[in-house]
A and B are shown apart, each in its own frame.
Chain A
Amino acid sequence: MHILNLIKTILPLTVILLLTACDEQTKIKQNGLSYCTEGSPSSFNPQTATSNVTLDATTSQLYDRLLFIDPNTQQFKAGLAIDWEISADRLSYRFFLRKDVRFHQTDYFTPTRTFNADDVMFSFARVLDKKNPYHDVSKDGYPFFEGIELDQQIRSLVKIDDYTIEFNLVLPDSSFIANLASDFSVILSAEYADSLIALNKKADIDNLPIGTGPFKFKEYRTDNFIRYQRHDDYWGDNAKIEQLIFDITPNSSSRLAKLLTQECDIMAYPAASQVAMISEHDRVKISVETGLNVAYWAFNTEKAPFNNPKIRRALAHTINQDTLLQAVYYNTGVNAKSILPPVSWAYNPYLKSYKYNLAYARQLITEAGYPNGFKMNIMALKSSQVYNPDAVKMAELIQSELAQIGIEAKIIKYEWQLMENKLQQGEYDSYLLGWVADNNDPDNFFRFQLSCNAINTGSNYTRWCNSEFDDLINQAVTETEYIERVTLYYRAQEIIQQELPLIPLAHSLRLHAYSSGIKGVETTAFGGINFINTVRQ
């Protein structure tokens, strides 16, 4: 056989085919959009979510909330509720629901009725009512709602008529409405839930989602991609694009390669180190927003020597924030003095930061009774997070500072699921983690992570309990006067600053890289990305 001849024939043929195929692609690209994200969602129901990846992939695409926060004005805006009334005693919230809202029609479900009060009742009953048949379907529970103790805030939820519902609270709570607007508080379909019970497939409710959002679920391939299709009967203006792809690419250089070769139109979290390079490239652009987030180093305050505030303060003096910003964030972050970011209205600008001073740190540690130092471990997440592009690297930097004052630190790297297990079990000295706000209420930063009650509900991993702090944040949510609330939060931040259950390290900027033809991607300071108005030019 004339192998060489065969090659001679095949090779040019292939090249010609490849070249002609080039322009064909543009057709399908016009109507679709592909977003390169860094991880897989843990569920398609944000009610059960713990990670921002899950929220990004689900809330704004598949669902609607009763109301939401306008990313530009920071005001509440009507979602599935067209209006709401708050009683004079601030204990009951009445919501008037939107009519003619259609749920998604998919291969696995065909809705026969439009959205009404039953859907709202079901969506909240699922989370709050332990007897609801769907309550136990979520194996991870409802961490957000458990953290804010919504079940104890709400005395009752009443259906007034088909398009009116009313929440009755136990105590006035100024963060309540912000919580309803958070990415977690989505509305599911009660009809779909009933049909799944009949089919005995209850677990499908979180895997094959039905919502009212601008996109509907088409296909999910684990760790590979999610395919959404436009929901053509959306109650608002339909999305501009027909198809939305979440391309799951954990490696940030692969994500960048996909962006540069136009496999992806938008890229989540470009590695901080790549930002300078991307901004030089003319076919891609980068967007930067201040984020409502914080990265911190937190301690197990139940464990010696970290139960001693003096030790914690000493450790704060080993932190060189400028180095961290340069080495880990490549200057895509800002210094952190408080757990609250400076853009928050309750941020206390009068806080003094702990100065980087190893000699002083050593002195404090000696005074606390450890002249020879000690051993400790630091848990860090392997994957990059909104608030921290590289926790392992950060841990390594902290480790080398600690080594200089005689503290031998061991770094343990985890994926989130494993780390969460360790955190629940209490087997750790310290950990690098962070927080991304779920709404614009400062309470969100404090209650979930540092209140005494959150130790029991399993979200205060510092296990730090301070009654004065607890009183302050409880008082702050019942208070209505803006000035009063600010004062209370200032004091709460001072206590954290003094007691240091956790050391704030940095606030990260939120970065996205786009192909230059893409317009109208909406991002919010508290996570979340919305493609409803996105167009390609």
Chain B
Amino acid sequence: MPNLNVFADEHILSPAEQTWKHYSSQQIAMAALWALGLLFFLLVFAPFIAPHEPDLRQAHLLLQPPSWDDKGTVDYFLGTDDLGRDVLSRLLYGLQLTFGNALLISFIALIIGTTIGITAAISHGLLSSTLHHIMDTALSIPSLLLAIIFISVLGPGLDHSLLAILLASIPQFIRGVYLSVYQELQKEYIIALKLDGANNYRIIRYGVFPNIIETLVNLLTRAISSAIIDISALGFLGLGAQRPLSEWGTMLSGATDLVFIAPWTVVLPGLAILVTIFIVNIVGESLRQSIIAGID
């Protein structure tokens, strides 16, 4: 069908389009987004990309330097560790353990936290006030410390550390969502919606939700980056993932004795953590600014 609209009608951008327009105009933000995409790709396809099994120990290939070193080979692009395992493959599988788990935890925390936060905000009285108190308490303790407390009860281990970090990050969401929903509900257009006879669901879905997306994105990216730090810190301390898992923090703690003779075994896992968190933070920060720009 031909386009019958012959008049030069100015197309009004939706908030989402506004946001995207703002976001895509920033080069660094776009680069970070591409990098994030690459991380997701590697995350999903790590088993296919990794040139070797992460746990394959090759006694004749101990501490091979990375390929750019004179003694390195391309077969072991980032070298091997003290048990003859391919560092590149371990890092790729470690992406699943560290970054993958951080994403998983953060999304679960997002769902649970948002549900509770919204429920608390629309209800009044005892429930709201109890939640408020508990959240205040939980929030005043940093998540890593809270995780260490949980682990001191549960005992060390990857699953325990993930559970601990999840429990420690939910309150952040509840509190953030609660506050912003609560503020939205005070606004006049919500009262207008109420007068129109909208039920709770409609108020939340059409009135509140579009306006708290900025909060959610902010909370989510912060949660992901702090989950990466927490998972790897617990791994580093020997409280989280245990050897021989190739979680990045665990890889680091196993390699500290090697820093003089095989610096790549220490530098690379740390660099992996640093780069991943940096990418997440750039995307999060830029997205947040763009959403604000989109709403304005």
So, do A and B actually touch in the complex, CB under 8 Å? yes
Q: Which one of B3-11, B199-207, B252-260 is at the A interface?
A: B252-260
Task: State A413–B243 Cα separation when bound (angstroms).
Answer: 10
A327:B260 contact, CB within 8 angstroms: no
Q: Assess whether B257 is in contact with A327, with CB atoms less than 8 Å apart.
A: no
A396-B57 in contact (CB<8A): yes
Bound complex: CA A400 to CA B242 (Å)? 17
- A residues less than 8 Å from B126 (CB atoms): none
Within 8 A of B (CB), among A225-276: 251-253, 271, 273-274, 276
* Interface band, chain A: 10 to 19
Chain A, Cβ-Cβ closest to B242 = A413
Closest Cβ of chain B to A277, distance in Å, is 4
Given A396-B57, A396-B243, A400-B57, the answer on whether A327 and B261 have CB atoms closer than 8 Å is no
A-chain residues with CB within 8 Å of residue B262 when the two chains form the complex: 273
B62 touches A396 (CB 8 A): no
Q: Which of B59, B244, B261 contacts A277 (CB 8 A)?
A: B261
Q: Is B31 an interface residue (CB 8 A)?
A: no
In the assembled complex, the CB of B279 is this many whole angstroms from the nearest CB of chain A, namely 29
B83 at the interface (CB under 8 A from A): yes
Residues 39-76 of chain B, each 1 if its beta carbon lies under 8 Å from chain A, else 0: 00000000000000001110100100000000000000
Contact residues in A for B55 (Cβ distance below 8 Å): 400
User: Would B259 and A393 count as touching, CB distance under 8 A?
Assistant: no
Give Cα distance in the complex from A511 to B66, angstroms.
30
State whether A396 touches B259 (Cβ < 8 A).
no
Q: A295-330: which have CB < 8 Å to B? A: 320, 323, 326-327
Instruction: Tell me whether chain A's interface is mostly helix, strand or loop, or mixed.
Output: helix
Q: Is B82 an interface residue (CB 8 A)?
A: yes
A80 at the interface (CB under 8 A from B): no
Q: Is A392 interfacial (CB 8 A cutoff)?
A: yes
Is A397 interfacial (CB-CB < 8 Å)?
yes
Whether A320 contacts B82 in the complex (CB less than 8 A), given A251-B256, A274-B260, comes out as: no
A273 touches B244 (CB 8 A): no
Would A274 and B62 count as touching, CB distance under 8 A?
no
A323 to B59, CA, bound (A): 6
Instruction: Tell me the chain A residues, 48-70 only, with Cβ under 8 Å from chain B.
Output: none
Report how far A326 CA is from B62 CA in the complex, Å.
9
B257 & A271 in contact (Cβ 8 Å cutoff): yes
Which residues from A are CB-within-8-Å of B82? Answer: 273, 327, 393
Task: Say whether B294 faces chain A, with CB atoms less than 8 Å apart.
Answer: no
Contact residue among B57, B84, B242, B257 (Cβ-Cβ distance under 8 Å from A273): B257
Q: Return chain A residues, CB-CB under 8 Å to B242.
A: 413
Measured CB to CB, the closest approach of chain B to A264, in angstroms, equals 17
B261 to A393, Cβ gap below 8 A?
no
Complex Cα gap A274–B262 (Å): 10
How far is the CB of B200 from the nearest CB of chain A, in Å? 51
Q: How far is the CA of A532 from the CA of B83 in the complex (A)?
A: 41
Docked CA distance A274–B82 (Å): 13
- A276/B261 in contact, CB under 8 A: yes
Bound CA–CA A304/B174 (angstroms):
54
| Contact in complex: B261, A252 (CB < 8 Å) | no
Over the window 404-419 of chain A, the binary record of Cβ atoms lying under 8 Å from chain B Cβ atoms (1 yes, 0 no) is: 0000000001000000
Q: How many A-B residue pairs have CB under 8 A?
A: 43
Q: Which residues of B contact A397 (CB under 8 A)?
A: 57, 59, 83
Residue from A252, A253, A277, A327 within 8 A of B62 (CB atoms): A327
Residues of B within 8 A of A252 (CB): 257
Q: Are B256 and A327 in contact (CB under 8 A)?
A: no
Q: A320-B59, A327-B62 are in contact. Are A396 and B83 (CB under 8 A)?
A: yes
Residue of A274, A323, A400, A413 near B261 (CB, 8 A) is A274
Within 8 A of B (CB), among A372-417: 392-393, 396-397, 400, 413
Closest chain B residue to A251, Cβ basis = B256
- Convert B228-252 into 0s and 1s, putting 1 for each residue whose CB lies closer than 8 angstroms to a CB of A: 0000000000000011100000000
A273 contacts which chain B residues (CB < 8 A)?
Answer: 82, 257-258, 260-262
The proximity string for A residues 460-492 relative to B, scoring 1 for CB distances below 8 Å and 0 otherwise, is: 000000000000000000000000000000000
CB contacts (< 8 Å) of A327 on chain B: these are 59, 62, 82-84
Bound-complex Cα distance A392 to B261 (A): 20
Contacts of B62 in A (CB 8 A): 326-327
Q: How far is the CB of A369 from chain B (nearest CB, A)?
A: 29
Chain A residues contacting B57 (CB-CB under 8 Å) are: 396-397, 400
**Which residue of the partner chain B has the closest CB to A253?**
B256
Which residue of A is nearest B238, CB measured?
Answer: A382
Bound-state CA distance A396–B84 (Å) is 11
Among A273, A326, A397, A413, find the residue whose CB has the most chain B CB atoms closer than 10 A: A273
Across-interface contacts of A400 in B (CB, < 8 A): 55-57, 83
Q: Across the interface, which residues of B come within 8 angstroms of A323, CB to CB?
A: 59
The residue of chain B having its C-beta at the shortest distance from the C-beta of A252 within the complex is B257
Give CA–CA (A271, B243) in the complex, Å.
19
Q: Least Cβ distance of B287 to chain A in Å?
A: 35
- Contacting residue for B257 out of A253, A276, A396, A413, CB 8 A: A253
Q: Which residues of B contact A276 (CB under 8 A)?
A: 261
Instruction: Give, as a whole number of angstroms, the nearest-CB distance from A269 to chain B.
Output: 11
B264 to chain A, nearest CB (A): 14
Complex: chain B residue closest to A320, CB-CB: B59
**Chain B residue with minimal CB distance to A270?**
B257
Interface string of B125-149 (1 = CB under 8 A from A): 0000000000000000000000000
Whole-angstrom CA separation of A127 from B168 in the bound complex: 52
Interface centre among B56, B62, B82, B256 (most CB of A within 10 A): B82
**Interchain nearest-CB distance for B247 vs A (Å):** 15
Give the distance to chain B from A377, nearest Cβ to Cβ, in Å.
14
Q: Give Cα distance in the complex from A253 to B257, angstroms.
A: 6
Determine how close the nearest CB of chain A comes to the CB of B258; give it in whole angstroms. 6
Point out the residue from A251, A277, A392 that lies within 8 Å of B243, measured CB to CB. Answer: A392
Closest B-chain residue to A327, C-beta based? B62
Complex Cα spacing A397 to B243, Å? 12
Chain B residues with CB under 8 A of A274? 257, 260-261
* Pairwise interchain contact B260-A277, C-beta atoms closer than 8 A: yes
CB B240 to nearest CB in A, in angstroms, measures 14
* B61 shortest CB reach to chain A, Å: 11
Q: Which residue from chain B places its CB closest to the CB of A392 in the assembled complex?
A: B243
In the assembled complex, the CB of A330 is this many whole angstroms from the nearest CB of chain B, namely 8
Assembled-state Cα–Cα distance A38/B276 (Å): 35
Q: Say which residue of A253, A320, A392 sits within 8 Å of B259 (CB atoms).
A: A253
A-B residue pairs, 6 tightest by C-beta:
A323-B59, A277-B260, A400-B57, A271-B257, A253-B256, A273-B257
15 CB contacts below 8 A, A to B, read: A252-B257, A253-B256, A253-B257, A273-B261, A273-B262, A274-B257, A274-B260, A277-B261, A327-B59, A327-B62, A327-B82, A393-B83, A397-B83, A413-B242, A413-B243
Given contacts A251-B256, A397-B57, 14 further A-B pairs with CB under 8 A are A252-B257, A253-B256, A253-B259, A273-B260, A277-B260, A392-B243, A393-B82, A393-B83, A396-B57, A396-B83, A397-B59, A397-B83, A413-B242, A413-B243
A: residues with CB less than 8 A from B are 251-253, 271, 273-274, 276-277, 320, 323, 326-327, 392-393, 396-397, 400, 413
B residues at A contact (CB < 8 Å): 55-57, 59, 62, 82-84, 242-244, 256-262
